[in-house]
Structure 1
Amino acid sequence: MWIRSADQAFFDLGQQTSEFGIKLGAQFAFDNFLDIEQIAKTGRGFSVTPTAFPTRAPMEPFRTADGKPMWLLLIDVATKVKLLSKDGAQGLLAQADVRGNQNRLFSGILGTIGNFIIIEAPLFFGVTDGAIIDGQGYYQYDKNAVYAAGLRQYVVKNGATDKVFTGEADFEKNLAETGSKLFSRNLLLGRGAFQFAMGKMPDYHYATHDFGLHSESALEVWCGAKAAKLLAENEDYDAIKLAGYNYGCAFVDLEIKTTA
């Protein structure tokens, strides 16, 4: 249970706290990779930007062993289906990959395209009771019962603006209403996206009762996780801001369907 919760913290922090984002509408084609790559490398072109930070620094990439800059793009299964259903992506992958079991159209594993390592993340299954992130930006482990860690989707009711994410109380109810829109929230990750720290060492507790016929156990963990935000100790740059926002992560939203 702890491992699932620890993994879910980073999915949720990326999806819930990223101030910068890209909205793809209802289509995801291969050309969108070129747009996303340009945005990541320049820091400009985001369709969602916070008022306090109209510009940001380019997203710092990871580096492979040979020095190649790479960004991670975490997508869910609905996003992958949208991409692979397009003729452009099918034609490109069919020509780029040799035929056989490892062909990406056959295997469904997208792998590396350009400067992106594309990872299909599982979907979140579980229950959320309360705010996922607290007022200081820390993930609230005790508010989420995680059955399977992964990306959450969200639904917006017809005529509303509030997002309700998978696992929250009204998700299924809102999704069933006519005109509601379901979105996937994918993540674009560079270096330095999150912070994680441990306090006390994890402590395992075990106790028996009723003459040893029954037992209970618990793992006590002292930790904190939040999005990495740089601190401007004196002054930040004027043209391109470096501090005060989620430095290494942005969201990529895709509309999946509208409830009939």
Structure 2
Amino acid sequence: MTPADAIIAEVTSRFAAEEFPAGKPRVAPDPLIIAVGTIADKAVRSPLLHERLEAAGICPSGLETFLEASVLRSQVPFSLALVLSPFKREAARACDDLAPAASATTVVDTVVKTTRGTVGVNTNSYAAGAALEMLLASRHPGRVLIVGTGASARSVAVAVRRSFPGATIGIAGRTAAGAAALVTEIGIGTVAPDLREFAGDTVVNATTIGEADDTAVPGVDIVSTFAPGVRYFDLNNRMSALQQTALARGCLAMSGVLMQTVTNALRVWLLKP
């Protein structure tokens, strides 16, 4: 068993116990997978997804893409939907039922369709928690700064509260109002208007800055938080300029690859008989 397999096994066990204590939803043995969002085509072609499908011995009957979240409420047949930006909040309102993490965040990144209806699931919060635990090793963070106020930030906040209940969580966004709204809606963290003053020993970039290229300018000064020993977790998979700067300033940095690997493993677990 590889280190990644060991992490996946541990996270899956916790995910199953906490999200589906009465048993997971049953899906067809020849599942049809769809992806919904602006990068749906990229998601269904992802090697990280196909590696997990192959490892589980699952051969989907089809892989289809859609650009509108309305498909989740339609008669279009599917077994599992990969929900991507910008529809993770909208998907929560479209489901017949929500698993606990999806309910806590009002964020759905995966939808399971059964004969009884659709179940919205948040795998990202468990995957983010696994990545942070790997980055931090045996350390317990004192102050975790989450940069971003969207769906990903909500998932990360719940992950931090679950994995590190004693940590102080700060939320920073382009506007204080956006950060305050997130804090109020999920009941986690406090607004961090001054990133330096918050002095996070762990910093999470839960924005799309650096996702595709390095042309976008962060709405907040993330770089000011980088210092020797700071743990920096960037949800984006590519080695961005922000990640390179963090490393150059002495941070211990991690990209979003492990998080995405665990997310896909949990999705595939939902398809297994």
TM tier, smaller: under 0.3
Bigger RCO (CA 8 Å, 6+ sep): 1
Larger % of helix: which?
2
Q: Return the TM-score normalized by structure 2.
A: 0.23
Q: Return the TM-score normalized by structure 1.
A: 0.24
Determine which structure has more spread, i.e. the larger CA radius of gyration. Answer: 1
